[in-house]
Amino acid sequence: MKSRILVVDDEESIREFLEIMLKKEGYEPTTVDDGKEAVDMLKKKSFDLIISDLQMPNMTGIELLRKVREQDPEMLFMMITAFGTSETAVEAMKLGAYDYITKPFKIDEVRINIANALRSRNLEFENRTLKKELEKEYNFQNLVGNSDSMHRIYELIKRVSQTPTNVLITGESGTGKEMIAKAIHFNGPLKDKPFVPVNCGAIPETLMESEMFGHKKGSFTGAVADKIGMFEVADSGTLFLDEIGELPPSIQVKLLRAIQERVIRRVGAVDDTPVNVRIIAATNRDLQDMIEKQEFRQDLYYRLNVINIHSPPLRERKDDIPLLAKFFLKKYNERLGKQVNGISDEAIYMLRKYDYPGNVRELENVIERTVALEGGATILPESLPPMVNTPSGRKLASTHKIEITEEGIDLDKVMGQIEKELLIKAIHASGGIKKRAAKLLSITFRSMRYRAEKYNLGSISDDDLDDE
């Protein structure tokens, strides 16, 4: 479509000149002779750019600019000014005018200024549109994915976020359950209220009641002052109970009462305190199985599981891996001050082949480490850790039996152990020839040297390149 330009000037010769020039340039001009007529015209028709004289009877260009900005703050506005009155033109730019052109006109200058103004407007519009599309399709409160399963989650979040209903989020560790909880909270009417996360597996049982419900001074040894609990901190907002399956039975009873009665009682108190809290709980455990084993209360389960959202493991939505990898690449470029421009198709292929027992959290860890160590402009297959970029590594990672206990595991430490084990096996398989070991692992010699030194497997000098 042709860009529509409104010309406002009390001099007929200026209007005619600009109309002819704008038509030649492929624009659709409309001309009026004063500001009041321009205001009326704007009510009837939309424009991409207004070019207005500064000095006009009835209404000055500055007055017109103010009225236009009141109606449409994003309207593109360019001022025409006589030579020697540039100070007033600068004032117009402070009020929001894009630029000004000076009489007598230099045709090339006018042409370039108008083209630049419209190009700037179009770029801003495209950027806003792209941002909205990315937010709509791919990124929902830092949830990234374009797979069918993620779209179903986005739809659930949109609907659930508008209600005060309790939600139970299930899924393996590292699948982004807390991100879903935040998306529900921050995309609904409670977004300006508190969001209070509590890791039920990280608080000792002896302190759990005090942390959740608060205590009165002197109620137990060490209670030197009154303390409010997480329920009161989250009052009128959202309380996110992560790892709800780790909640002790004694606290399950009190949580059930708090949800049903909307009151809590501090440890050592005799009176109840009313609370208005939305509960979002999350777990990586099978609560139904725990109910059968009498480890989790069935009545509490039904109170929490009004709406269930299941966060799928990454191995079930591998189409999201390229998008997630690029998202984390941008994140860690900014955080680590690096300039790794992209990920090669071969590296993406390797990333998609791996099963990620640690889910999205493990993929993020892989990209962070790769960006930190990458010396080039692009992530290549050899830049990735061995468990991702070699068949033996992928097999080891998928078959390596690692039990996740109630205390949890140190993912970095476990991955380090796997990497070290692969390095040792490759060195033995190559007869101690480091260059050949690097080839077996599909990594560069430089990367082999770094990793060998990291795990104290012996230093490697450039002379080792001649080992063969």
pLDDT tens, residue by residue, 101-153: 888 888 888 888 898 888 877 777 766 665 555 445 444 657 888 888 998 99
Q: How many domains does the chain have?
A: 3
As a whole number of angstroms, the distance between CA 246 and CA 233 comes to: 21
Q: Is residue 416 part of a domain?
A: no
| Predicted local confidence at residue 460, as pLDDT | 55
Would 44 be classed as within a structural domain?
A: yes
Domain final position from 312, 337, 353 = 312
- In order of 279, 286, 301, the CA distances from 295 in angstroms are 20, 11, 11
Q: Do residues 327 and 213 share a domain?
A: no
Q: Both 150 and 275 in a single domain?
A: yes
- Residue 282's SS3 state is strand
Q: In 10 A of CB 5, how many CB atoms?
A: 24
Give residue 260's domain range. 146-312
Within 147-269, residue ranges assigned H as helices are: 148-160, 177-186, 205-213, 230-233, 249-261
Rounded Cα distance, 24 and 434, in Å:
70
pLDDT tens digit sequence for 250-309? 999 999 999 999 999 999 999 999 999 999 999 999 999 999 999 999 999 999 999 999
Domain co-membership, 25 together with 50: yes
Of 280, 312, 344, which residue is a domain's last?
312
Residues 309-368 pLDDT 10s: 999 999 999 999 999 999 999 999 999 999 998 999 889 999 998 988 889 999 999 999
Nearest-angstrom CA–CA distance, 335 and 340? 12
220 and 85, same domain (yes or no): no
Helix (H) or strand (E) holding 169: strand 167-170
Same domain, 234 and 342: no
Query: Please, how many CA atoms are within 13 Å of residue 248, restricted to the half-sphere of its CB?
Result: 11
What's 179's domain CATH number? 3.40.50.300
The reply to whether 287 and 152 lie within a common domain is yes
We report the CATH number of the domain holding residue 20 as: 3.40.50.2300
